[in-house]
Amino acid sequence: MTAFLIAAALMVVGASALVLIPLLRRANAEQRRATTSALVVVLALPLFSGWLYARWSNWPWSGAPQSAAQQASPEVIAMVENLAARLARDGGSLDEWQMLGRSRVQLGQYDAAAEAYRQAYRMSGGTDVATLTSYAEALVLADPGALLADAGDLFERALSLSPQDPKSLWYGGLAAFGREQYALARDRWQALLDHDPPPPEDVRQILADRIAVAESHVAGAGGASAPATPSAAGAASPPAIGGTTTSPATSGAAAPAAAGDAARRIVVEVSAAAALSSQIDPAAPLFVLARNPGGGGPPLAVERHEARELPLTVELSSEDAMMPGRTLAGAGEVEIVARVAKGGGPVAARGDLYGSIVVPAGGDARVRVEIDRVQP
C-alpha cells in the first residue's frame, strides 16, 4: 500500500507540473493572474484527487480489507441475483450459466458458483474442458476436501480430454499427491514447470517446491509410487497456469507443504460410538481434518479414508496442508474433526456422522476423536 501511495503522489506531482508550467510562462501582464491560478492548482489538485479516490475507491481505508462480496457494489450484486433468478425460472444457455458461475466466484460465493457450473456441466454433456475445470475448481474453493473426491474425478476427466490443460495438471497433481501417487504428482507439476514460455517466477518457485516434496516421497518409497498415466506423463504445459480465477500462487486448493514446514504433527485415534455403528456405511468416505476452531477458512490439513477402516489412527502434519502457507506448523489452537460423509461428498451435509475435539496451541499432540454426533 505504501508503494501505491508513493506512486500516486508522484503522479499528482507530474500532473500538477503539466498544468503549472504553462501558467507560469505567461507574459508579464498576466503574471499575477497566472501565479494565482498556479497556487490554486497546487492546493486543489492533490486535495481533490485524494478526495475522489477516498470517496470512490474500494480500498477499506478504515478497518480490515473487505471480502469480495463486500467490495462489490449493490448494483453488481443485484445484477447477479437477477441473472440467477431468471436462469432458475426460465432456464438459459450454456454461456449464461457459465457467466453466472464466474460472477459467483468473483463475489466469493463458491457454493453458489459450484451450483451454476454444475448446470453448465450438465448442459455441455461433460465434454467441455473449460466448464469441467471451472466446475471442479468451484467445488475446491467451496471445500478443499473436494479435491480428494468429486472435484478430483472431474479434473481426471478433464485430463483425459485435454492432457495439456494447465488447470487440470495443477489440481490433478495436488489430487495425485493426496492419493499418495507421488510420481504422478511430480510428473504433472514438472509438465507445467517445463512449459515454454515458462510460468511466472513465483509460480515456478511454487512448482519447484512441490516437485521437490513429491520427489522426496518417491525416493523414500524406493520408487514404488504409482506411475504416471499417459494423460499427464511428459505432457507439454499450456501457456498459462490456473485460468480465469486462480493460480498455484493464490489458489485455495490443496497443496503439499514445503519440506521445511513439517514441524507439527497431530496423531489422531478415530473411533465410532457404539450407538452409531449401525448407521455407518463401510464404503462411505471418512474425512479426518484439522481446522481453525469453528470452521473458519479452508482446513489446515486433511486426509481421506473409508469408514471401513474404523477404528484407525492417522497422522496430520504440514504435508497434509490444503494450501501453501496455511499449515499446522503456523497454527495455534486447532479443531480436529472426523466425519463420515454418508452422501459421499466432501461438504458437511445433513445426516453425516462426526466427532471433534479442540487441541491447544503447541507442538506435537496425540488425541482421540469419537464419532458420536449426527449433522443436523
DSSP string for 13-82: HHHHHHHHHHHHTS-GGGHHHHHHHHHHHHHHHHHHHHHHHHHH----SSSSPPPHHHHS-HHHHHHHHH
Q: Is the pLDDT of residue 376 over 60?
A: yes
Minimum mean pLDDT among 117-131, 217-231, 353-367: which range?
217-231
If DSSP states are collapsed to H, E and C, what string results for 202-263? HHHHHHHHHHHHHHHHHHHCCCCCCCCCCCCCCCCCCCCCCCCCCCCCCCCCCCCCCHHHCC
The answer to the question of residue 106 being in a domain is yes
Q: How many angstroms from the chain centroid is the CA of residue 291? A: 15
Number of structural domains in the chain: 4
Residue 20, CA distances (Å) to 10, 43, 48, 77, 85 in order = 15, 12, 16, 43, 54
Contact 287, 303 (CB under 8 A): yes
- Which secondary structure element, helix H or strand E, spans residue 193, and what is its range? helix 182-193
List the beta bridge partners of residue 266.
Answer: 316, 365
Q: Based on the fold, state whether residues 279 and 345 are members of the same structural domain.
A: yes
Q: Based on the fold, state whether residues 114 and 170 are members of the same structural domain.
A: no
Mean pLDDT across the stretch 127-149?
89
Q: Based on the fold, state whether residues 266 and 292 are members of the same structural domain.
A: yes
pTM over 0.75, yes/no: no
pLDDT score of 322: 65
The answer to the question of residue 67 being in a domain is no
- Report the distance separating Cα 306 and Cα 317, nearest Å: 19
Q: Of 197, 226, 253, which residue is a domain's last?
A: 253
Q: Of 233, 253, 273, which residue is a domain's last?
A: 253
pLDDT score of 143: 85
Per the structure block, which three cell numbers stand in for 176? 495425485
Q: Based on the fold, state whether residues 158 and 212 are members of the same structural domain.
A: yes
- Percentage of the chain exceeding pLDDT 90: 27
Strands 365-371, 265-272: parallel, antiparallel or unpaired by DSSP? Answer: parallel
**Rg of the chain taking only CA atoms, in angstroms:** 26
Per the structure block, which three cell numbers stand in for 200? 511466472
Q: Which amino acid is at 58?
A: N
Q: Based on the fold, state whether residues 41 and 111 are members of the same structural domain.
A: no
Strands 373-374, 301-306: parallel, antiparallel or unpaired by DSSP? Answer: unpaired
Which domain range does residue 169 map to? Answer: 146-253
The answer to the question of residue 61 being in a domain is no
Q: Based on the fold, state whether residues 11 and 100 are members of the same structural domain.
A: no
pLDDT score of 252: 37
Minimum mean pLDDT among 104-113, 203-212, 260-269: which range?
260-269
